[in-house]
């Protein structure tokens, strides 16, 4: 009898449950975009594709036609491809967004981590990134984890071993490359430290020499003057010898070498006073009201900077929340361009510089003493602003590295001359991909750390370059003075006052009513350009806020002020103002209960007054509903019964107080004005004037 064969274990591995979280099911989102002729369009596009529940979408994704709208080219919208059966999960990026690969993947992983609605299986944690349909097809051809697990172990062993060996070889090669790069970087840092140490020794020696030589020269000069005076005035007996205060002499002798050197370095290089800079720039800017400049921004547009006025602007920036880190003597720039990376290590007052010895955009950043912890908080990432200024008709770009704080932002700045090839290349790189590496140094020269900056300001930089190209550049300008003035009075960084700060927010109707007047101030094309070019508000944020707020206002039936009304028509929300008003009047009855009584009354008055101006027909029921809300706010409690049952032929019987409330009636204000004209005392002339202005 043969012994029983041992029971053979199954080579199958238990299959992991499919992902069922936020990015599992097919999902659409509404997006706005520009057509071929620049016209504003919108459409619903897929941001998640589940091919198990929607198999027809698989071929559209593989053909790269998933986001084709109205026969045009595919929209550049990333999406998640999910095949639960094959355990495939990928973030698919359009080729146009390939340079955003790491940022988009990080954003997806962060969203997955915050989603607590479902467990995250291994195939989702792997989250492959595929750029274009070709990479997606290649990824789908790969064997999934389930297929690999079901093969016999002996059939997989050789292949797994080869893959592991290949992986180790690549890893060792990568380590060798990184080791070489680290060695080169260490050598460069040591060289820079030696340069900085040599400069410090030279400054100390020079300071000691100047201090000693200065005192010796003073003694010789005093001796020479005494001899000359004795020769010239030896016959004058009234000559009185000047007494020397020993305390002043001690103070002179106590002057440190650094102070002597610092004072000497300023000789022949006077720094313009901030007030003088502002006064000098004012007339040039006043000649062209459309010129882009940080100094011409109206003070009422920045609630946090209300005290800014004229020549005291820079001093007010410091007082209102901008730290003065320029030191007692602002640096003087060479005529051709700002200092290179080598000069950064020899100029202790320089806040930031471009490292021109490295590929890409690399910033060298010097912190002030005690600020070593800034730029290190992952919950409060730094932002890089690109701000265009016009100084004496010459364009200057301010790079501002900013971290927002509880009370005020911390800012490091450098200026670029966009008319020089080197600085133009820096801006062109940022226009292609807005990313930079920042190498941070403490005030004493120690290396603090390195971090990467990634933002969505490519369109901002593109528009900055376009604005520079459109300017007439003067040839006889003192570029060094222009750059220095830009640093002396830079644009505000992180200042509040504009409405574009929270593009993803969804205000409730009462908040939206209060927000629309501020948004109206920034809705004109000129103000949008100022926000993008001077304040460096990301252009996508500006577009998103305007689209969403206008859409929300129309859905809620809220009155759009003049500039917003024009912008809504320009963006294609309606063919004309009459269509906008008609849409709002039909929608507002559903919103009345969601806003305050005063807000409801104001909105009804504005809508119906605009409707009369544009000859938009309004139903009687709508007028009655509007008057119901208006009279409760405009009329006195004692008059509510009379105001609720108005008769146009009996207005003369109403009191002056009740007639004044009727001035706010959508259709009877003209009759109320005629009735008040016969009254004498008690008529409020201001109410009469306002009502007269609302007549069609």
Distances (CA, A) of 205 to 219, 256, 694: 21, 12, 79
Distance, CA of 308 to CA of 317 (rounded, Å): 8
Distance, CA of 143 to CA of 166 (rounded, Å): 18
How many helices (H) and strands (E) in the chain?
A: 25, 12
What pLDDT is recorded for position 198?
A: 60
What is the mean predicted confidence (pLDDT) over 421-446?
92
User: How much is the mean pLDDT over the chain?
Assistant: 74
In terms of average pLDDT, the best of 73-77, 222-226, 247-251, 316-320 is 73-77
What pLDDT is recorded for position 335?
A: 36
For the chain, what is the radius of gyration of the CA atoms? 36
Residue 342 has pLDDT above 70, yes or no: no
Listed in sequence order, the residues at least 6 apart from 609 whose beta carbon sits closer than 8 Å to its beta carbon are 666, 694
Phi and psi (nearest 5°) for 241? -70, 135
pLDDT band at 265 (very low <50, low <70, confident <90, very high): very low
Residue 275 has pLDDT above 50, yes or no: no
Phi and psi (nearest 5°) for 505? -80, 160
pLDDT digits (tens, 9 = 90+) for 591-631: 888 888 899 899 988 998 899 888 888 888 888 888 888 88
pLDDT band at 74 (very low <50, low <70, confident <90, very high): confident
Whether 329 contacts 349, CB under 8 Å: yes
Listed in sequence order, the residues at least 6 apart from 178 whose beta carbon sits closer than 8 Å to its beta carbon are none
3-state secondary structure of 638: helix
pLDDT band at 268 (very low <50, low <70, confident <90, very high): very low
What tokens were used for 626? 């509007």
Distance, CA of 415 to CA of 489 (rounded, Å): 12
3-class secondary structure per residue, 640-696: HHHHHCCCHHHHHHCCHHHHHHHCCCCCCHHHHHHHHHCCCCCCCHHHHHHHHHCCC
Distance, CA of 57 to CA of 78 (rounded, Å): 15
Residue 318 is inside which H or E element, if any?
helix 313-320
Whether 274 contacts 488, CB under 8 Å: yes
Share of the chain above pLDDT 70, in %: 66
Place of tokens 């003694």: 219
Query: N- to C-terminal Cα distance for the chain?
Result: 112
pLDDT digits (tens, 9 = 90+) for 352-396: 998 877 778 999 999 998 888 888 888 888 999 999 999 989 999
What tokens were used for 578? 């009459």
Count of CB atoms within 10 A of residue 284's CB? 14
DSSP 619: -
For the entire predicted model, the pTM comes to 0.52
Whether 311 contacts 488, CB under 8 Å: no
Distance, CA of 449 to CA of 440 (rounded, Å): 5
What pLDDT is recorded for position 283?
A: 35
């Amino acid at each position: 009898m043969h012994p029983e064969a041992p029971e053979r274990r199954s080579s199958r591995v238990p299959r992991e449950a499919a992902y069922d979280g936020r990015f599992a099911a097919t999902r659409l989102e509404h997006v706005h975009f520009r057509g071929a002729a620049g016209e504003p369009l919108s459409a619903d596009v897929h941001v998640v594709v589940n091919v198990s529940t929607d198999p027809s979408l698989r071929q559209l994704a593989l053909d790269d036609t998933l986001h084709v709208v109205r026969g045009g080219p595919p929209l550049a919208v990333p999406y998640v491809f999910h095949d639960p059966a094959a355990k495939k999960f990928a973030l698919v990026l359009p080729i146009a967004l390939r340079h955003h690969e790491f940022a988009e993947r990080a954003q997806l992983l962060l969203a997955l981590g915050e989603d607590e609605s479902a467990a995250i299986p291994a195939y989702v944690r792997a989250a492959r990134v595929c750029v274009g349909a070709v990479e997606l097809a290649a990824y789908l051809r790969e064997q999934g984890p389930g297929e690999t697990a079901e093969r016999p172990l002996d059939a997989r062993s050789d292949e797994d071993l080869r893959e592991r060996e290949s992986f180790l070889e690549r890893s060792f090669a990568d380590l060798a490359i990184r080791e070489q790069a680290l060695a080169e970087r260490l050598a460069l840092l040591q060289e820079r430290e030696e340069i900085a140490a040599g400069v410090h020794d030279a400054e100390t020696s020079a300071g000691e020499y100047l201090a000693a030589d200065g005192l010796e020269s003073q003694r010789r000069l005093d001796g020479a003057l005494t001899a000359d005076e004795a020769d010239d005035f030896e016959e004058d007996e009234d000559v009185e010898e000047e007494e020397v205060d020993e305390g002043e002499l001690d103070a002179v002798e106590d002057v440190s070498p650094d102070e002597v050197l610092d004072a000497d370095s300023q000789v022949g290089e006077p720094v313009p006073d901030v007030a003088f800079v502002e006064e000098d720039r004012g007339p040039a800017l006043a000649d062209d009201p459309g010129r882009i400049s940080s100094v011409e921004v109206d003070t009422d547009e920045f609630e946090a900077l209300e005290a800014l006025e004229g020549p005291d602007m820079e001093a007010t920036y410091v007082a209102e929340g901008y730290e003065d880190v320029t030191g007692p003597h602002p640096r003087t720039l060479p005529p051709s361009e700002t200092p290179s990376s080598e000069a950064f290590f020899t100029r202790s007052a320089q806040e930031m510089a471009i490292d021109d010895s490295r590929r890409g955009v690399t910033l060298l950043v010097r912190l002030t003493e005690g600020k070593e912890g800034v730029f290190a908080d992952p919950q409060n990432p730094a932002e890089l602003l690109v701000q265009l200024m016009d100084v004496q008709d010459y364009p200057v770009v301010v790079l501002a590295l900013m971290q927002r704080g509880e009370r005020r932002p911390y800012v490091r700045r450098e200026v670029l001359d966009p008319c020089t090839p080197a600085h133009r290349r820096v801006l062109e790189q940022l226009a292609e991909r807005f990313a930079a590496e920042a190498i941070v140094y403490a005030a004493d020269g120690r290396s603090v750390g390195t971090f990467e900056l990634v933002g969505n300001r490519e369109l901002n930089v593109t528009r900055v370059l376009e604005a520079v190209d459109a300017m007439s550049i003067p040839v006889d300008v003192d570029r060094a003075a222009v750059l220095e003035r830009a640093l002396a009075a830079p644009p505000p960084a992180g200042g509040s006052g504009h409405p574009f700060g929270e593009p993803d927010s969804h205000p409730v109707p009462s908040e939206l009513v209060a927000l629309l007047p501020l948004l109206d101030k920034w809705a004109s094309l000129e103000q949008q350009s100022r926000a993008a070019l001077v304040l460096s508000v990301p252009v996508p944020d500006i577009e998103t806020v305007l689209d969403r707020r206008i859409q929300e206002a129309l859905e809620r039936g809220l009155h759009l002020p003049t500039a917003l009304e024009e912008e809504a028509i320009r963006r294609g929300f309606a063919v004309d103002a009459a269509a906008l008003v008609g849409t709002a009047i039909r929608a507002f009855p559903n919103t009345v209960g969601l806003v305050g009584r005063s807000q409801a009354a104001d909105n009804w008055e504005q809508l119906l007054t605009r409707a009369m101006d544009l000859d938009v027909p309004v139903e009687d029921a709508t007028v009655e509903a509007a008057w119901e809300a208006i009279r409760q706010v405009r009329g006195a409690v004692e008059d509510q019964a009379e105001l609720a049952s108005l008769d146009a032929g009996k207005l003369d019987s109403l009191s002056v107080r009740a007639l004044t409330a009727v001035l706010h009636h959508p259709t009877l204000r003209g009759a109320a004005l005629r009735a008040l004209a016969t009254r004498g005392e008690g008529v409020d002339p201001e109410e009469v004037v306002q009502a007269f202005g609302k007549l069609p």
